[in-house]
Chains A and B, each alone.
Chain A
C-alpha cells in the first residue's frame, strides 16, 4: 500500500477512535469544536513566537554589522599608524563576524518562511472551523443520534485531518524557533563576553585600547626623544636630581612602548 494512503489512514483512524469512544456522536461535536478553537489559539501564539524570534535575529544582525564596520575603521586606523599586525587582527575578526552574519541571515529567512506558513495554516484552519461550526449546528438540530453518525463522521474526518496537519506544523515551528533561540542565545553570550566586543560602546575592546595607547604614547615618545637629545651633548651633569635609583642618565627606554 502506498505510503501516502497509509498516512491518510493514520489520520482517519485517529478520528475514528475519537468517534468510537462516545455513546452519542453528537456529544463529540461540541467537544471537538472546543479543541479546534484551542488549536487556533495555539497557532496564533506560534505565529507570535516565530515573529519574536525573527525580530531578535534582526537585532543581532544589526549589532554584528555595526561591529563589523567598527573593526574595519580600526583596521584602517591601525594601518595609518603603521601597525599592520593590529590591522590584520582587526580584519581577521571582521571576517569571523561575516560568517556569523551570514548564518544569522539564513536563520532570519527560515523564520520568515515559517511565519508565513503558520499564518496561512491559521487562515485555512479558521475557514474549516467556521464550516464545521455551521455543520455541527445543522446536525444537532436535524438528526437523531443514529442518523447523525454518518454526517458527523464526514465532517469530523475533514476537520480532524486539518487539525492533525496544523498541529504538526505548529510543532515544527516550535522546534525551529527553540533551535534558533538557542543559537541566538549563543550570539548574545559572545556579545556579552566581549569576544565580539560590546557593541553598546561602553567597554573598549583590546584593539581600540591598543590604538588609544599608541595615540597617547606617541606624545610621550616624542617628549622622551626631545629629553634624550637635550641630555646627549655632554650635559650629563644637568640630569634631573628627583629621579630615584639607578643610573640617572638612563631614562630613554619608555616602558610599555
Chain B
C-alpha cells in the first residue's frame, strides 16, 4: 500500500501494522469531529512517526498514485478541512 506524507514524498507501507495505523486514524477523525486541535496534533504526529518507521520510501521516479495521503506534520485542522473542501488548496493540474 502506497501512502504520501505531504511535503515528504511517497512511502510503501506494505509491511506495516495496519491495525495500529487505523487506531491513529480513528483518533484523528474523532479529534476533527470534536474540533479538538491538541488531540488532532498529537495523533497526527504519532501517526506520521509510525508511518515513517514502518515504511520504505518509494523511488522518486515512481508514478504510482497513493492510496492514502497524510497531511504534513505542521498541518492544522483548518488546513485539513480546507483540503477536503470542493476546491480545497489543491491546484488544478491540467
Contact = CB atoms under 8 A, between A and B. Distances in A.
Contacts of B22: 2
Interface in A114-144: 117, 120-121, 123-124, 127-128, 130-132, 135
A3 B84 contact: yes
Interface in A163-217: 163-165, 167-169, 171-172
Nearest to B25: A2
A28 B94 CA distance: 7
B89 A171 contact: yes
B63 A132 contact: yes
B28 A14 contact: no
A161 B62 CA distance: 12
A21 interface: yes
Contacts of A35: 93-94
Given A5-B67, A135-B63, A10 B91 contact: no
Interface stretch (A77-85, A150-158, A244-252): A150-158
Interface of B: 3-4, 6-7, 9, 22, 25, 28-29, 32, 59-72, 80, 83-84, 88-94
23 contacts: A4-B69, A7-B70, A7-B80, A8-B65, A8-B68, A12-B65, A14-B93, A17-B94, A18-B93, A120-B9, A121-B7, A124-B9, A127-B61, A128-B61, A128-B63, A154-B64, A157-B65, A160-B93, A161-B66, A164-B90, A165-B4, A165-B69, A168-B91
